[in-house]
Amino acid sequence: MHEVSISHAIADVVLKESQKQEAQKVLVVELEIGELSLLNPDQVEFWVKLALDKTIASEAEIKIEVVKPEINCTACGYTGTLETKDDPLYHFVIPVFKCPQCGSGEITVKRGKECKIKRIEVLT
Amino acid sequence: MFERRGLKIIRPGKGEIFDIELDEDLLRKNQDLAKENKKLLDSHKILAIDIMGSVGSGKTSLVTQLIKKLRNKYRIAALAGDTTTTIDAEQIKSAGADVLEINTGKECHLDANLVRKALKELNLKKLDLLFIENVGNIICPADFPLGSHKRIVVLSLTEGPYVVLKHPFSFMDADVVAINKVDLSKATKIAPEEFEKQLKELKPSLKVVRTNCATGKGIAEVVKALGL
């Protein structure tokens, strides 16, 4: 639901950084969106494109990589992915918030919550 | 090539393609601010609990009941997040706690920056416990940690039978879930047991409590689950 404000923030950073390099045109914008974030990659792409309309980045290709969750278990030291529940009711896979190795709920999420501008490619 | 202060600098020329590695996380800024908030609260030995839940789930009623139950034990303040109006803040105030309203305007969630601004307005030296009630929304607030120590999610039987199944991410960072309006189980044809089963499956470490925040039923259990 906050895709709009996040997308405007993305567009601001993209334009600011490309201006620093005195770019004529932004060719590629690469984003990383975590699977545990509440952001829908399709919507982010749509809004980023709109936010970049009529700018030097209006024709930029928006590439989005969806980042899988990675957790760390404080109880047994496990580091890795979360166990998931695949239910036909869902369009997506639901993670189970416990350690897949020892079952402890004492886990910290290391990756999977991000919304990151990885890199941009500009024409100078 | 450029030269600045005797150093040779290679820069892209006109018409060249140039990569800019940014690695800039837009949610990270909020996460860093949240950590600062937590540090500030810790330095004053204040425990902060944030409350998340749908519109009309009973967040304000829960905070009001908790304050009534705990006001003789702790010095309490509350932050009431809402898009507009001071309805929530006024209700909480009537329970006998210092309260600050945070109006987000059109934003669908509180963020760490708004909470930081609110913390500056509170007399932190005279506080043991802080409740932070988020905007009524079960989706967006999950992306924006505020710096609280614990999170309670309120879900009510009037939201339909699929709240847990539809919004698994909302419970990711929760410690306690209050299943509210249990008195309406018959009318809504929803058994609280169903939610309990789904929540335990999703996150086994969750403490789940049944409440009726209109009457105060289950509030003692919420207090216990929060370790207060």
Domain that holds residue B49: 28-225
Q: Which pLDDT score, from 0 to 100, does residue A64 have?
A: 96
Domain that holds residue A96: 70-109
Contact A21 B20 (CB under 8 A): yes
Q: Left if phi > 0, otherwise alpha if psi is -120 to 50, otherwise beta: which for A63?
A: beta
Tell me, yes or no, whether B7 lies in a domain: no
Q: Which pLDDT score, from 0 to 100, does residue A93 have?
A: 63
Same domain, A88 and A55: no
- Residue identified by tokens 């929530």 is B88
Residue B47 has pLDDT above 90, yes or no: yes
Winning range, highest mean pLDDT, from A33-42, A59-68, B107-116: A59-68
Same domain, A59 and A119: yes
Distance from CA of B134 to the nearest CA of A (A): 15
Tell me, yes or no, whether B10 lies in a domain: no
Distance from CA of B25 to the nearest CA of A (A): 4
Asked if the C-beta of B171 comes within 8 angstroms of chain A's C-beta atoms, the answer is: yes
Tens-digit pLDDT profile for residues A54-96: 999 999 999 999 999 999 999 999 999 988 776 666 656 678 8
Mean pLDDT (whole number) for B22-50: 94
Same domain, A64 and A13: yes
Mean pLDDT (whole number) for B131-152: 92
Q: Which pLDDT score, from 0 to 100, does residue B107 have?
A: 79
With contacts defined as CB-CB under 8 Å, which chain A residues touch B206?
105
Confidence of residue B2 (pLDDT cuts 50, 70, 90): low
More confident residue, B213 or B107: B213
Tell me, yes or no, whether B17 lies in a domain: no
Residue A11 has pLDDT above 80, yes or no: yes
What is the SS3 assignment for chain B? CEEECCEEECCCCCCCEEEEEEEEECCHHHHHHHHHHHHHHHHCCCEEEEEEECCCCCHHHHHHHHHHHHCCCCCEEEEEEECCCCHHHHHHHHCCCEEEEEECCCCCCCCHHHHHHHHHHCCHHHCCEEEEECCCECCHHHHCCCCCCEEEEEEEHHHCCCHHHHCHHHHCCCCEEEEECHHHHHHHCCCHHHHHHHHHHHCCCCEEEECECCCCECHHHHHHHCCC
Residue B95 has pLDDT above 60, yes or no: yes
The domain spanning residue A118 has which CATH number? 3.30.2320.50
**Mean confidence (pLDDT) of chain A:** 90
Same domain, A49 and A12: yes
Same domain, A51 and A89: no
**What is the rounded distance in angstroms from the CA atom of residue A94 to the CA atom of residue A104?**
18
Residue A3 has pLDDT above 90, yes or no: no
Taking CA–CA distances from B174, the nearest residue in chain A reads A97
Question: CB atoms < 10 A from the CB of B223, how many?
Answer: 16
Three-point CA angle A37, A68, B24, nearest 5° = 60
Residues B111/B146, Cβ–Cβ less than 8 Å: yes
Mean pLDDT (whole number) for B165-178: 90
Confidence of residue B139 (pLDDT cuts 50, 70, 90): confident
Tell me, yes or no, whether B6 lies in a domain: no
Mean pLDDT (whole number) for A12-29: 93
Tell me, yes or no, whether B66 lies in a domain: yes
Contact A5 B17 (CB under 8 A): no
More confident residue, A78 or B85: A78
Confidence of residue B1 (pLDDT cuts 50, 70, 90): low
With contacts defined as CB-CB under 8 Å, which chain B residues touch A115?
25-27, 143
Same domain, A59 and A78: no
Q: Which pLDDT score, from 0 to 100, does residue B189 have?
A: 95
Domains held by chain A: number: 2
Q: Which pLDDT score, from 0 to 100, does residue B125 have?
A: 96
Same domain, A79 and A103: yes
Same domain, A43 and A87: no
Same domain, A116 and A57: yes
Tell me, yes or no, whether B104 lies in a domain: yes
The domain spanning residue B134 has which CATH number? 3.40.50.300
Contact B18 A21 (CB under 8 A): yes
With contacts defined as CB-CB under 8 Å, which chain A residues touch B143?
2, 37-39, 113, 115
Residue B63 has pLDDT above 70, yes or no: yes
**Mean confidence (pLDDT) of chain B:** 91
Confidence of residue A46 (pLDDT cuts 50, 70, 90): very high
Same domain, A9 and A49: yes
- Residue A78 gets which letter from DSSP? -
Q: Which pLDDT score, from 0 to 100, does residue A89 have?
A: 62
Mean pLDDT (whole number) for B161-189: 92
Same domain, A52 and A34: yes
Tell me, yes or no, whether B178 lies in a domain: yes
More confident residue, B128 or B26: B128
Task: Find the distance separating the first CA and the last CA of chain B, reported in whole Å.
Answer: 64
Tell me, yes or no, whether B116 lies in a domain: yes
Same domain, A28 and A49: yes
Domains held by chain B: number: 1
